[in-house]
Structure 1
Amino acid sequence: MRSDLILRVVAKLLIPFMLLFALYVQFHGELGPGGGFQAGVIIAAAVIFYGLIFGLPATRKMVPDALVETMVAAGVLIYAGVGVAGLLLGGNYLDYFVLSHDPVHGQERGIFWIEVGVATTVSAVMLKIFYMFAGRGLDPDDS
């Protein structure tokens, strides 16, 4: 598909809107349907769409394996870090109320960071799965 001009142009037009929609879902998650999991899947879908159109080597240059693996760990650490921060501030694990001077703001802040951690981990795991399956049968020098 790398030689199909129409697909390449459409992909370059759609991917930024896909990522923008993922941000909308991420930031609107505590107010309505959506959140970290859905945003992470949409982010991964945009990168996978890029990979299907432009090829796996180009995708791995754009989002390298080392970055994907770092994102998996970073998302888990963000999630766990919110819980530890609650403990250090005198609350229970994942008790958001102690994260700010006002319990409502603490709740908003905690949910936001939990959702960021989930989105980071979910998008990275989806990309890692894609890389593993798409890379099967390829010569190691090609990827």
Structure 2
Amino acid sequence: MKSDHHVILRVVTKTLIPIIFLFALYVQFHGDFGPGGGFQAGVIVAVAVILYALIFGVPAAMRAIPPVFTRSLAAVGVMLYAGVGFWALLQGGQYLEYQALFHEEPGGHHGQHVGILLIELGVLFGVSGAMLTIFYAFAGRVAEIRDEDW
């Protein structure tokens, strides 16, 4: 019979990860009304994956969320952020001028709301993708060092 002395950690982690992701969504969408937003939510998403990697192993985390996906996620985040700015420029406004997105008068709220949501989503993607890419790079280097003969 196989003895798994990490069973409690594994069960608790499997229970916590969905709650951590849910909290990240709360922080992301509450950022319009209070403290929080894309950067904080991106770090929280990365923490959930890093917790998974610490408990189940980095190779398991890399199978669940491949490094190519984390790099792509970071790139999509930057493109989304920049794309909102260029959208405003194409509409005749200044870079990241949210009222220009829908040709609103100054003080309009629809463009500002949509613009901020898209910008914060881009930041979420960029930060979580970058944090996980950095973690995978460091974790992979540590695994290489461990495998070398000293």
| Distance apart, 1:129 and its partner CA | 1.1
Trace 1:1-143 onto structure 2 (pairs within 5 A). Answer: 4-100=6-102, 102=104, 103-138=108-143
Q: Which runs of 4+ in 1 moved over 4 A?
A: none
SS of alignment partner, residue 138 of structure 1: helix
Counterpart code for 2:109: V
CA distance in 2 between partners of 1:93 and 1:114 (Å): 12
| Percent of residue pairs identical | 58
Q: TM-score if structure 1 supplies the norm length?
A: 0.92
SS of alignment partner, residue 33 of structure 1: coil
Aligned residue pairs: how many? 139
Cα RMSD, aligned residues only: 1.5
- Unpaired runs of at least 5, structure 1: none
Whose Rg is larger? 2
CA distance in 2 between partners of 1:60 and 1:5 (Å): 21
CA distance in 2 between partners of 1:72 and 1:39 (Å): 14
- Unpaired runs of at least 5, structure 2: none
| Distance apart, 1:100 and its partner CA | 2.8
Q: TM-score if structure 2 supplies the norm length?
A: 0.88
Counterpart code for 2:32: E
Preserved CA contact (<8 Å) 2:91 2:103: no
CA distance in 2 between partners of 1:129 and 1:83 (Å): 27
CA distance in 1 between partners of 2:118 and 2:135 (Å): 26
1:33-61 superposed Cα distances (whole Å, 9 cap, x missing partner): 00000000000000000000000010001
CA distance in 2 between partners of 1:96 and 1:42 (Å): 27
CA distance in 2 between partners of 1:137 and 1:130 (Å): 10
SS of alignment partner, residue 70 of structure 2: helix
